[in-house]
Amino acid sequence: MYRVMLVEDDERLAALVIEYLQAYEFTVDCVVRGDVALAHFQATKPDLVVLDLMLPGLDGMVVCRQIRGISPVPILILTAREDSYDEVSALEQGADDFVSKPVQPRILLARLRALVRRIGDPAETTVPASEHDQITFGALSISRADRLVYWRKKVVELSNTEFKLLMILVESPGKVLSRDDILMKMRGIEFDGLDRSIDNLISRVRRRFDDQNSEKIKTVWGEGYLFSPSAWAEPS
């Protein structure tokens, strides 16, 4: 069973979500105010967070940023806001997915299951790391087993979405990945020609690795993005 922290002040909607999810592989704790969400999260340590944006006490966007500041836990935003700016902003704050209300329960369930697949089954036995768990390109080193990223021998703190994006790129070195490729791998949806979340996420990852000139993660105009293996080497 996976524990979900639902942050939602609409009691009727919350009851429906709880009833539906608990019929499957989830247990759900509900919080109705944004200003108590962080403390509840720290006390219960849920596996996933479903977060409304319009909350009493504290805006959901702030709550998202607070949780992301202390944990890589998957966060799904569930909100009545439909402005594309809100979606981009939420993803920039560290959210992993964004779903607009009203949502069919089975769609919400599918999105949560997709997030579960990313984090793996906590009940699975840990297997020893192999040479395939360690990825190195120049001064960049990634440990899959520990989800640790080192750049110039220093740990780089990445959100769950940033780590996921980096892994997608490093697993296809020298290959151009379109926005559609990346969105399908990250969120299971196709690029609609308007979504700028991937562009913003790329910019965030570049900043983590001092890639202001876009040499390590190249933009291939009209096609997508390319992870350049040689660009990660330290200058001689």
Instruction: Assign residue 175 the CATH number of its domain.
Output: 1.10.10.10
- Does residue 51 sit in the same domain as residue 137? no
Higher pLDDT, 125 or 38: 38
- Does residue 87 sit in the same domain as residue 146? no
Q: Is residue 23 part of a domain?
A: yes
In this predicted structure, the answer to whether residue 30 has a pLDDT above a threshold of 90 is: yes
Domains contained in the chain, number = 2
Q: Is residue 93 part of a domain?
A: yes
- Does residue 111 sit in the same domain as residue 139? no
Candidate from 44-58, 111-125, 174-188 with smallest mean pLDDT: 111-125
Nearest CA to 99 out of 71, 60, 72 is that of 60
- Last residue of one domain, picked from the residues 89, 119, 149: 119
- Does residue 135 sit in the same domain as residue 223? yes
Per-residue pLDDT, 123 = 42
**CATH number, position 107:** 3.40.50.2300
Which of 52-61, 63-72, 84-93, 175-184 holds the top average pLDDT? 52-61
- Does residue 82 sit in the same domain as residue 9? yes
Candidate from 14-18, 149-153, 154-158, 191-195 with smallest mean pLDDT: 191-195
Per-residue pLDDT, 191 = 46
- Does residue 76 sit in the same domain as residue 136? no
In this predicted structure, the answer to whether residue 73 has a pLDDT above a threshold of 80 is: yes
Question: What is the domain range of residue 68?
Answer: 2-119
In this predicted structure, the answer to whether residue 130 has a pLDDT above a threshold of 50 is: no
- Does residue 115 sit in the same domain as residue 136? no
- Does residue 141 sit in the same domain as residue 182? yes
Q: Is residue 168 part of a domain?
A: yes
In this predicted structure, the answer to whether residue 105 has a pLDDT above a threshold of 70 is: yes
Question: What spatial distance separates the first Cα and last Cα of the chain, rounded to whole Å?
Answer: 51
Label residue 131 by pLDDT band (50, 70, 90). Answer: very low
- Does residue 105 sit in the same domain as residue 151? no
- Does residue 151 sit in the same domain as residue 106? no
Q: Is residue 124 part of a domain?
A: no
Q: Is residue 125 part of a domain?
A: no
- Last residue of one domain, picked from the residues 69, 90, 119: 119
Label residue 122 by pLDDT band (50, 70, 90). Answer: very low
121 by DSSP, 3-state: which? coil
Label residue 157 by pLDDT band (50, 70, 90). Answer: confident
Per-residue pLDDT, 129 = 40
Per-residue pLDDT, 152 = 86
- Does residue 16 sit in the same domain as residue 107? yes
In this predicted structure, the answer to whether residue 226 has a pLDDT above a threshold of 60 is: yes
Per-residue pLDDT, 188 = 56
In this predicted structure, the answer to whether residue 8 has a pLDDT above a threshold of 50 is: yes
Find the helix or strand (DSSP H, E) in which 123 lies.
none
- 40-46: long-range contacts at Cβ-Cβ below 8 A with a sequence spacing of 24 or more? 40/5, 41/5, 41/67, 41/71, 41/73, 42/70, 44/3, 44/5, 45/3, 46/3, 46/4, 46/5, 46/73
